């Protein structure tokens, strides 16, 4: 396989990914969710005792972005935030 073939395969994969992301975003917008919120919900579902630090690591976002994401999900009544008794900062 030469470089041109590799480039064409890479472009095709990128196009498929963009198509699927657009389709997913369309469906999520009908539910009032963003792709990030959807990813967070999936992570929380699979890791019910996780915290903000785990979520930020999984999504590869900043701590503040993860907190904002969780707050928005909380505002939509999609998650319940529990503070640890030992550390009021940890959720």
pLDDT number for residue 32: 93
3-state secondary structure the chain: CCHHHHHHHHHHHHHHHHHHHHHHHHHHHHCCCCHHHHHHHHHHHHCCCCCHHHHHHHHCCCHHHHHHHHHHHHHCCCCCCCCCCCCCCCC
pLDDT number for residue 87: 62
Nearest-angstrom CA–CA distance, 21 and 19? 5
- Say if residues 84 and 91 touch (Cβ distance below 8 Å): yes
pLDDT number for residue 70: 96
* Residue found under tokens 């009032």: 32
Whether the predicted model's global pTM rises above the 0.75 cut:
no
The packing angle between helices 35-46 and 63-75, to 10°, is: 90
pLDDT digits (tens, 9 = 90+) for 47-60: 998 999 999 999 99
pLDDT digits (tens, 9 = 90+) for 64-86: 999 999 999 999 999 999 887 77
Structure tokens at 11: 């472009």
pLDDT digits (tens, 9 = 90+) for 3-50: 999 999 999 999 999 999 899 989 999 999 998 999 999 999 999 989
């Amino acid at each position: 396989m030469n470089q041109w073939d590799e480039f064409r395969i890479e472009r095709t994969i990128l196009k498929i990914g963009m198509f699927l992301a657009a389709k997913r975003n369309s469906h999520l917008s009908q539910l009032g969710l963003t792709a990030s919120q959807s990813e967070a919900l999936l992570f929380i579902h699979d890791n019910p005792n996780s915290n903000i630090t785990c979520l930020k690591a999984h999504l590869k976002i900043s701590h503040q972005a993860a907190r904002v994401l969780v707050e928005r999900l909380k505002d939509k009544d999609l998650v319940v935030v529990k503070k640890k008794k030992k550390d009021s900062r940890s959720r």
